[in-house]
Amino acid sequence: SEKALELDSQSSWLKTNLAHAHLFLGHYTKALEIYTASFGQSISKGTFEDEVLKDFIAFRESGLDHPDMKRIEEAIQDLKAHA
Q: Cβ of 72: how many Cβ atoms within 10 Å?
A: 22
Average pLDDT over residues 34-61: 89
Q: Is the model's pLDDT at 66 over the cut of 60?
A: yes
Provide long-range contacts, Cβ within 8 A and 24+ apart, for 25-32: 26/68, 28/68, 28/71, 31/68, 31/72, 32/71, 32/72, 32/75
The pLDDT of residue 1 is above 70 = no
Number of Cβ within 10 Å of residue 58's Cβ equals: 10
More confident residue, 47 or 64: 64
Share of the chain above pLDDT 90, in %: 57
Average pLDDT, the chain: 86
DSSP bridge pairs for 47: 42
Categorize the per-residue pLDDT at 75 as very low, low, confident or very high, splitting at 50, 70 and 90. Answer: very high
